[in-house]
Amino acid sequence: MPELPEVEVTLRGISPQLKGRLITGVVVREPRLRWRVQDAVGRVAGREIRALRRRGKYILLDCGDGHLIFHLGMSGSLRLLEQATPPQKHDHFDLQLGELTLRLRDPRRFGAVIWTDQSPDTHPLLRHLGVEPLTRAFDGRRLHALTRGLRSAIKQTLMDSSRVVGVGNIYANESLFLAGIHPATRAGRLSLARCISLAAATKKVLRDAIRAGGSSLRDFVGSDGRPGYFQQRYRVYDRAGEPCRCCGTPIRRQVQGQRATFYCPSCQR
């Protein structure tokens, strides 16, 4: 699923082409996404896309008197088509911009398309989002403060979007490996030094993934529709039983909060 890097890569892919464009039409083929696509979404034609930005894993299109908000869920992708192409299975939504089409494909329908005339940051879905990991506001000190008093595992805390946004299962595993921290460590017990290390590792993992052009989910597709993603070389994710790239110890898999966790029992303490 798209984690922050995939969403960021998508945003960068579509922004230059969409900015300043007039929305000329909307096609909702399947309104049953995570939330039923409201009728208001169908009436956004005639507006100009003034700006695009990302908040957590949400993509926000500023349309002047409101915002169109996209979330890619676990299997969504947005692609920009230069010419009309017949929709395929799971192509649930199109935004038409003259000859351009922005198309949402989402086999599992966990994604969302939302219209809001509020300030998007106060929208119920975005209001409680935590700090952006790639900003200066997110550092070891902040992470340390955020985790005080918490008894839950640091991996789950890192994935908790009300504290830090954008870090999903893959990059949580990778960040903890880079920082040398065992994923089950209680968040509240991490020293400041370890929080500094983890914040830096998280930034590095996310930045590297963005640089690599997104990630890795098999069905993730960039905004130009290029399926061949530079598959990233994971250090621990999905490598159960394989040797740690650092020390050779077999990578271990364990379930935390109904989610697979991968770690090196020797490098991560």
Partner DNA sequence: CTCGCCACCTGGGGGC
Partner DNA sequence: TGCCCCCAGGTGGCGA
Of the pair 75, 223, the CB lying nearest DNA is at 75
The 182-211 contact track toward DNA, x by CB under 7 A, reads -----xx-----------------------
Which tokens in the block code for residue 182? 């065992």
Total residues binding DNA (CB under 7 A): 41
- Helix 169-179 to helix 192-211 angle (10° resolution) is 130
Give me the residues paired with residue 167 across strands. Answer: none
Least distance (Å) between residue 129 CB and DNA: 8
56 part of the interface to DNA, by CB under 7 A: yes
Q: Which residues of 23-61 are buried (b: 16+ CB within 10 A; e: fewer)?
A: beebebeeeebbeebeeebeebeebebeebebbbbbbbb
Residue of 34, 54, 57, 79 marked catalytic? 57
94, 87 contact by CB (below 8 A): yes
10 part of the interface to DNA, by CB under 7 A: no
32 part of the interface to DNA, by CB under 7 A: yes
Q: Which of 13, 7, 112 is nearest to 69 (CA)?
A: 112
* Contacting DNA within 126-145 (CB under 7 A): 128
Q: Which residue matches tokens 């890795």?
A: 216
Among 28, 51, 81, 125, binds DNA (CB under 7 A): 125
| Of 13-21, 156-164, 202-210, 224-232: span binding DNA (CB under 7 A) | 156-164
| Angle in degrees, CA 215, 216, 219, rounded to 5 | 115
Least distance (Å) between residue 56 CB and DNA: 6
Q: Which helix (H) or strand (E) holds 213?
A: none
38 part of the interface to DNA, by CB under 7 A: no
Taking the C-alpha atoms of residue 87 and residue 158, their distance in angstroms, rounded to an integer, is 37
34 part of the interface to DNA, by CB under 7 A: yes
Taking the C-alpha atoms of residue 230 and residue 55, their distance in angstroms, rounded to an integer, is 24
Give me the residues paired with residue 27 across strands. Answer: 94
Among 61, 158, 170, 251, binds DNA (CB under 7 A): 170
217, 3 contact by CB (below 8 A): no
74 part of the interface to DNA, by CB under 7 A: yes
| Of 80-88, 130-138, 167-175, 227-235: span binding DNA (CB under 7 A) | 167-175
Residue of 3, 6, 8, 174 marked catalytic? 3
Write the CB contacts of 133 (distance below 8 Å, at least 6 apart in sequence). Answer: 4, 164, 165, 166, 167, 199, 202, 203, 206
5 part of the interface to DNA, by CB under 7 A: no
161 part of the interface to DNA, by CB under 7 A: yes
Is residue 31 among the annotated active site residues?
A: no
Instruction: Give the residue numbers marked as catalytic.
Output: 2-3, 57, 259
Q: Using CB under 7 A as the criterion, which residues of the chain lie in contact with DNA when the complex forms?
A: 1-3, 32, 34, 56-57, 71, 73-75, 89-90, 107-110, 124-125, 128, 149-153, 156-157, 159, 161, 168-170, 187-188, 217, 237-238, 257-260
